[in-house]
A and B are shown apart, each in its own frame.
Chain A
Amino acid sequence: MRSLTAFRIVLHDRNSTLGVLLGVVSIVFLVGQQLSILFGLLNYMSVLVDHSGADAWITSANASSADAVNLISARYVDRVIGLPEVLWAEPVLIGNGLFRTKNNSFESVRVVGVRRPRLAGGPWEFVAGDERSLLDLEAVTVDQLDLKKLGHPALDEVNEIGGQRVRVGAITKKVRGFQGTLVFASLDKVKEISRTPPGRYSAILVRFKDEVNKEAALEKLRAILPECSVFSRAELSRLTRNYYFSQTGIGSSFGFSTAMAVLIGVVIITLTMYTSVLGRVRDFAVMRAIGGRRVDIAVVVISQALIIAGIGVFAGFLMLSTFLRATSSSSIPSYLPVYVPVILAVGTIIISLLGSLIALRVALKTEPAAVFR
C-alpha cells in the first residue's frame, strides 16, 4: 500500500515526475548510445579476427594487434598444416591501396587477401553477390557503406586499386574495419596491389579439428613456432581492442562523455527529487503523525524513485532501440552486447536511488510535530 501511495503521488506530481524522468531517460539514452557506439567501434577494431572462423592466428613475434604485424614467411603454413590437430591453415595478407573512383580521385582502402579456394578470413555478409566471386583473380568486394565514398561502383564494374585492375564481384554488408574501408580480394591480387615480396603473409589462420583440445593445440603451435606469436581468436581480438582502446584515446574520450551523461542525469534526478520531496514535507509530517514510521516514509520515497526509474528506463530503452534501429544501416557504428542493457538498466536504477538519497534524508528528517506548527 505504501508503494501504491507512492505511485499515486508520482502520478499526481506530474512536473517533478517528468523532471526525474528526464534525468533517468538522459542516463539511459546518452550512456546507452555512447556505449553502443563504443561497442560498435570495438567490433570494427577486431572485425577481421572475430569473423575469421579460425581457432588460432599466427603472426609475427610481439604483435600488438591484428593490424600491427610484420610479414611472416609462407613456410610456416607448411609446418602447421602437417600437424594432426590442424584441420586447415590458410594465409591472409593485409595491405593498403588507393581505390580510383569514377571521377579519377583516389580513396585509401584496406585490402585483405584470402587464399582460394577456401577463402578463409574472407567477407561474411553480403547485399549483392557472395564470397565465391573472390575465386576470380580480379574480383574484389566493396562494402555498401563505402559505395558513396568509392564513387558508387556497380557490381561487375571494373576499377583500379593500387594501379591494378580489379572488378567488383560482390557488395558486402556492414563489413568495416576500424581503419576504414575493407576491400577483400584474392591473395594473389592483394600481393599485386600491396607489392608484397613473394612468400610473405600478414598472418596464418588455423582451424583445429573438432575433437582437439584447443588450448593444448595452441601450446603446441607456440612450441613449434617460437619466432612467431600464436593467439587464440579471442586473445587476438582482445589484444587488438585493448591496443586501439589505450593507444588512440578512444577509451578516455568515451569514458569522459559517459561519465558526463551520468553526472547530468544524477544532477537532474537529485535536484528534482529534492524539490519534489520539499514540496511534500507537510504530507510526510502527516504520515508520521498518523502513525507512519521513518521506515514507512523511506519506503514511500524509495518507491517513488523506483517507479520513476522503472518508467524512465523503459522510455530510455525505447529511444535507444529507435536510435540503434535508425543507425543499423548507416555508417555510425552501433552495437550493444546483450549484457549491456541489463547492466545499464540496473546501473541507472541504482543511480536513480542514489539521486534520491538527499531527498530521502529531507523526508526522514521530517518531524511529526511539524503538523502542529
Chain B
Amino acid sequence: MATIVLEKIARDFYDGRQMRRVLYPTDLDLKPGELTIVSGPSGSGKTTLISIMGLVLKPSEGRLFLEGKEVTRLSDEKAAGIRLEKYGFVFQQAMLIEGLTVMQNVLLSYAIQGGRVSAEQRRKAMEILRALGLEEAAGMQPQLLSGGMKQRASIARALVKDPAILLCDEPTSSLDAENGQVVMNILKRIAVEEKRIVVVVSHDARVFPFADRLIKLENGKISSDTREFYSETSETRESRT
C-alpha cells in the first residue's frame, strides 16, 4: 500500500539576488483512502510541497520516502519511471496536448516512454472516460471541450494507469462552481472508494468540505493539520449542496 513520508523537507529558491526559503522543514505522512487538501495563501509553499511530493522537484533538505523507500535524490530517469508507475497528476489548467484527441491524451502515459498501446489499455481508457461522462468526447480535440470537460479529461489521463497517488494542483480554480463540485466529487470517490492517496492543493474554501484531512500552510510552514472537522458523508454533502 502506497505511503508518502516527508522528513524535514525544505526547499530554497534563488530569486536572482539571494537564496530564499519557500518551504521550511516539514514533516508529513500521507496514507491511502483519504482526500488531503493542502491550502494556504499565495506564496505559502503549497505548489513547492506538491512538486516535491510528486518527484518533479528535489528538496534542498530533508528526506522523502515512498512506500518505505527513500526517493529524495533519484536521477531524472528514475524519478520519471516512478512518476509513470505510481503517480497521476491533475493540473490547474487541464494541460491537454493540442493535436491529440482526448483519448490520445488519456493514453499518453502509456505511450510517452515509447510503449505500444494495447487494445486492453484502450478499453480501460474508454471505461474511465465513460465513468467521467466523456465517452462522446473521446475522439474530440481538446479545444472543442468545455473547461469542465477538459479537467475531467485530465483526471482520466491521471487515472488511466491506476496510480496509487493522485496529486492535483488547484483542479477547480478554472472551473465554475457546478463543475468544481463534479470534479471534487470524483476526486473524493477515487480517494475513499479506490483507496488511493489523493492530495489537492487549493486555496478555494469551497473545496474544503470534501477534505478528509486539511493541511494549512503559511509562509512555508504547516500552520494546521486537521482530520476530523471536514469529514462528512456523501449524504450530508449532497444534502448541503
A interface with B by C-beta (< 8 Å) = 1-2, 4-5, 8-9, 11-13, 282-283, 286-296, 299, 367-369, 371-373
Q: Which one of B22-30, B111-119, B174-182, B219-227 contacts A?
A: B111-119
A369 to B104 CA separation, bound complex (whole angstroms): 23
Minimum Cβ distance to chain B for residue A322 (Å): 32
Q: In the complex, which residues of chain B have a beta carbon less than 8 angstroms from the beta carbon of A291?
A: 80-81, 83-85, 87, 109, 112-113
Given A5-B111, A296-B114, A369-B57, A288-B80 contact (CB < 8 Å): yes
The closest CB in chain A to the CB of B80 belongs to A293
Q: In the complex, which residues of chain A have a beta carbon less than 8 angstroms from the beta carbon of B81?
A: 291, 293
A293 near B77: Cβ-Cβ < 8 Å: yes
A283 to B113 CA separation, bound complex (whole angstroms): 15
Tell me the count of chain B residues lying within 8 A, CB to CB, of chain A: 36
Minimum Cβ distance to chain A for residue B126 (Å): 17
Sample (13) of A-B pairs whose CB atoms are under 8 Å apart:
A1-B117, A5-B97, A12-B99, A282-B95, A289-B56, A289-B83, A291-B80, A291-B81, A291-B87, A291-B113, A292-B84, A371-B169, A372-B92
Given A287-B112, A290-B157, A291-B109, A5-B100 contact (CB < 8 Å): yes
Q: In the complex, which residues of chain B have a beta carbon less than 8 angstroms from the beta carbon of A290?
A: 83-84, 87, 89, 108-109, 112, 157-158
Minimum Cβ distance to chain A for residue B212 (Å): 22
What 5 pairs across the A-B complex have the smallest Cβ distances? A291-B84, A12-B99, A1-B111, A368-B56, A292-B112
Given A291-B83, A293-B77, A294-B76, A1-B95 contact (CB < 8 Å): no
B97 near A2: Cβ-Cβ < 8 Å: no
- Candidates B84, B108, B116; contact of A5 at CB < 8 Å: B108
Q: In the complex, which residues of chain A have a beta carbon less than 8 angstroms from the beta carbon of B148?
A: none
A282 to B97 CA separation, bound complex (whole angstroms): 9
Q: In the complex, which residues of chain A have a beta carbon less than 8 angstroms from the beta carbon of B80?
A: 288, 291-293, 368
Most B CB contacts (10 A, CB to CB) among A9, A13, A294, A371 go to A371
Given A2-B112, A291-B83, A372-B99 contact (CB < 8 Å): no
The closest CB in chain B to the CB of A288 belongs to B80
A287 to B100 CA separation, bound complex (whole angstroms): 13
Most B CB contacts (10 A, CB to CB) among A286, A287, A292, A295 go to A286
| CB of B40 within 8 Å of the partner chain | no
A287 near B108: Cβ-Cβ < 8 Å: yes
A159 to B104 CA separation, bound complex (whole angstroms): 77
Q: Which one of B46-54, B60-68, B128-136, B192-200 contacts A?
A: B46-54
| CB of B208 within 8 Å of the partner chain | no
The closest CB in chain A to the CB of B55 belongs to A368
A286 to B88 CA separation, bound complex (whole angstroms): 11
The closest CB in chain B to the CB of A14 belongs to B99
A1 near B115: Cβ-Cβ < 8 Å: yes
The closest CB in chain B to the CB of A286 belongs to B95
| CB of B120 within 8 Å of the partner chain | no
A289 to B95 CA separation, bound complex (whole angstroms): 11
